[in-house]
Structure 1
């Protein structure tokens, strides 16, 4: 077991080291840290109105949203580089941190008012996507909020209006095409002292596309599982930790060593991240 792990680590290092020296083709001459999208301007007054209307499923008021105007203006400020994805998670974190309801016991949102907030905040390029959400549950344990989002079915979410995102890394054109959500999707979040937001313990979501490495060993993948993302404040960048998804091994053939190593060694990177 130890020997296999050591061999796997050396193989991964070799693939990365050789792959990074390769030159990208013209259609994929994009660095992982280049900006890819620009969030749309948000009507803060309307967002505050919608947040004020947010209640639990038992009609308990969730927020005094007018007090949140400064932090909302900062989240949706278009004068600095940002991403819709980061805005989405930061908005959810603000709701959790300022909830009037007792989230220590767990609360279920009124889904209609919650959907309206997501549409007003323009955190999805497809405004029809929130219609798939059937339930949002929030609970906080030791001041760590955890959201569980339920959908009406498994949902495929095309990235960048179906165009996806391409970047050159590890000697290969990494092409992220869509997020694949299971009927239930959950995550935890925590803001650090430097203002970065860490979202982690993802469950029920995979990234689908064309991924891999080229070098000493060639690996081609279709499904990647996000483990955590640390969103860097006032940028569109995130420190991403990801593993090969179990679904990859269910649907595609790979050797046993890759399966073993994939559960031990994550892929980590600093990159522009959005949806």
Structure 2
């Protein structure tokens, strides 16, 4: 694992903090000496590792973590569940300055923050040289999204389905759909609700925290 971690944190190679975070978790699951298929990490050691590895721009965010659970019955596809000290935790993207922007569907789409609802879970797997995080639960992207055209749509909450981090870059293939939180928070037509239940949007964009 030492070789992989040295490459992962090599400052001469462009990487996003998000890629480093999820790739590090994949390596931990793959190479840990603990034989159990399910276990809870030591909290203080976990927080210390996350802070010292600098995978978060916001150094206070790891201190909000209250528990980390790993299940790896399939060693090539481990699943994690991370618990927080509050039922709602917000992590600004790009250090809370500008978020991430991409022009699509006739308007500027802007991802501003990740919103966690008490905990969040995900699975990991390798796709060639890339690492993909998928099957997310209890986390949304907050921002300004939508479309301009025949029908104008404005959305604030998007549910992440999967993120494939492209090795050695800030770019990621993001699959997402309108979150259930959006319909609880903002007023929309029943047609939008039906359509977005079936449609999963794909975008290739820079993404980091």
Q: TM-score, normalised by structure 2?
A: 0.95
- Give the aligned partner of residue 108 of structure 1: 40
Structure 1 position 148 matched with structure 2 position 81: yes
- By how many angstroms is 1:269 displaced? 1.2
- By how many angstroms is 1:184 displaced? 1.3
Structure 1 position 130 matched with structure 2 position 65: no
- By how many angstroms is 1:167 displaced? 2.1
Q: Which structure is higher in helix share? A: 1
Structure 1 position 216 matched with structure 2 position 150: yes
- By how many angstroms is 1:81 displaced? 2.1
Larger CA deviation: 222-231 vs 232-241? 232-241
User: Residues 77-96 of structure 1 correspond to what in structure 2 (within 5 A)?
Assistant: 77-96=10-29
User: Residues 68-79 of structure 1 correspond to what in structure 2 (within 5 A)?
Assistant: 68-79=1-12
Distance 2:94 2:187 in 1: 29
Aligned to 1:265, which of 180, 199, 202?
A: 199
Distance 2:207 2:136 in 1: 16
Structure 2, unaligned stretches of length 5 or more?
none
Number of positions where the alignment pairs a residue of Structure 1 with one of Structure 2: 206
Distance 1:258 1:89 in 2: 33
Structure 1 position 256 matched with structure 2 position 181: no
- Give the aligned partner of residue 117 of structure 1: 49
Distance 2:55 2:96 in 1: 16
Distance 1:177 1:160 in 2: 8
- Give the aligned partner of residue 190 of structure 1: 125
- The 8 Å contact of residues 167 and 174 in structure 1, kept in 2 or not, is answered as yes
Distance 1:210 1:161 in 2: 17
- Give the aligned partner of residue 230 of structure 1: 164
Q: What CA RMSD, in Å, does the superposition of the two structures yield over aligned residues? A: 1.1
Structure 1, unaligned stretches of length 5 or more?
1-67
